[in-house]
């Protein structure tokens, strides 16, 4: 590159049309996944720690999915808030083909078919009375292999309900291989696995746990299976293992604090990698906007652009509908 003044890097930034022409990364509604919370009641249930986000009855979830289609959002991810009386130590409700998640999946697919993808969470924390993602022993330790057996059965229940993508979020060793084998054996050869391959034991999950009703139930913490925030090399090993076991794509969670992990995964493996802009990250943007500390629209679009710049194929975000409206003009 020649020296100044022959090279003036500001030349291409001088006008809007030129900035658009030289833009390296763009965000479109097709890059977004919209997480939605399914409630068991008959009315909307606003979530206090997630301003603007609610739990919706199954019938209204269908309307939210229809809204996503109209906005150009290709997929929704459904998370149930299981009633307390249906939670148990073994999370048996996860295997009920008529549970809240299955009813929501079936309703969306019956109404909209292949015009939208439906992603289902594979984990036991929405169903356990102790709030852990798996089965626990007498000391409270989360059991790996026994949990994997249940997760494979849960995956089949969700696939039978019509889920297009299963997203195992539990972080048990070997669960991707077990789920892939179960899906193949039952003929679900086109059901995708989008693995939470690098899911960290983060402080940013609090509002989500409120949304699915597990925060007050959680006994202990999840550090024996979710990743240590200090580790990066370990994330690559997790991703490599999940890909070897049959994952079609991977997720890094949370998002903004782990953009370096997104970049390293994309550069190392060259596979579709998604980031989850988690509840705490969403809540910080909303709090900043409410306090007059930043422009909400600009903050939303800038953070989404940062995910794409880091190498994301797409982004899970509670701002999906709002961002799509902004992007659609």
Q: Which residues carry out catalysis?
A: 199, 253
CA distance 58 to 108: 9
Q: Are 98 and 40 in contact (CB under 8 A)?
A: no
Distance CA 177, CA 272 (A): 18
CA distances from 231 to 144, 155, 226, 309 (A): 21, 29, 11, 22
Q: In terms of C-beta density within 10 A (0-12 exposed, 13-18 middle, 19 or more buried), how is residue 95 classed?
A: middle
Give the CA count within 13 Å in the CB-facing half-sphere of 261: 30
How far, in Å, CA of 61 to CA of 247, rounded?
27
Say if residues 176 and 248 touch (Cβ distance below 8 Å). Answer: no
Q: Under a CB-based contact definition with an 8 Å cutoff, are residues 96 and 132 in contact?
A: no
Q: What is the CA radius of gyration of the chain?
A: 20
Length of the chain: 329
Give the integer Cα–Cα distance in Å for 263 and 273: 9
Cβ 72 vs Cβ 28: under 8 Å: yes
Give the list of residues 6+ apart from residue 34 with CB closer than 8 angstroms, or none: 64, 68, 73, 75, 76, 77, 316, 317, 318, 320, 321
């Amino acid at each position: 590159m020649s020296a100044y003044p022959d090279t003036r890097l500001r030349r291409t930034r001088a006008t809007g049309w030129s900035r658009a022409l030289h833009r390296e990364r763009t965000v479109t509604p097709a890059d977004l996944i919209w997480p939605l919370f399914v409630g068991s009641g008959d009315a909307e249930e606003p979530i206090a720690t997630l301003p603007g986000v609610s739990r919706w009855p199954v019938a209204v979830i269908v309307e939210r999915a229809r809204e996503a289609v109209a906005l150009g959002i290709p997929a929704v991810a459904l998370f149930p808030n299981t009633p307390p009386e249906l939670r148990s130590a073994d999370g048996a409700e996860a295997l009920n083909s008529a549970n809240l998640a299955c009813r929501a999946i079936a309703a969306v697919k019956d109404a909209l078919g292949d015009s939208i993808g439906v992603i289902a969470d594979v984990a036991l924390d929405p169903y356990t009375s102790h709030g852990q993602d798996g089965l626990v022993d007498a000391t409270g330790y989360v059991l790996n292999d026994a949990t994997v057996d249940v997760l494979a059965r849960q995956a089949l229940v969700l696939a039978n309900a019509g889920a297009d993508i299963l997203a195992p979020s539990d972080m048990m060793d070997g669960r991707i291989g077990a789920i892939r084998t179960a899906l193949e054996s039952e003929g679900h050869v086109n059901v995708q696995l989008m693995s939470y391959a690098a899911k960290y034991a983060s402080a940013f999950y609090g509002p989500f746990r409120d949304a699915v009703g597990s925060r007050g139930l959680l006994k202990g913490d999840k550090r024996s299976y979710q990743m240590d925030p200090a580790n990066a090399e370990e994330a690559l090993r997790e991703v490599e293992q999940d890909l070897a076991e049959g994952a079609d794509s991977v997720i890094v969670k949370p998002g903004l604090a782990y953009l370096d992990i997104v970049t390293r995964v994309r550069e190392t493996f060259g596979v579709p990698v998604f980031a989850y802009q988690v509840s705490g990250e969403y809540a910080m943007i909303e709090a900043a906007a409410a306090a007059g500390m930043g422009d909400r629209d600009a903050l939303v679009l800038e953070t989404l652009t940062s995910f794409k710049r880091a190498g994301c194929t797409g982004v899970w975000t509670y701002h999906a509908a709002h961002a799509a409206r902004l992007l659609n003009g």
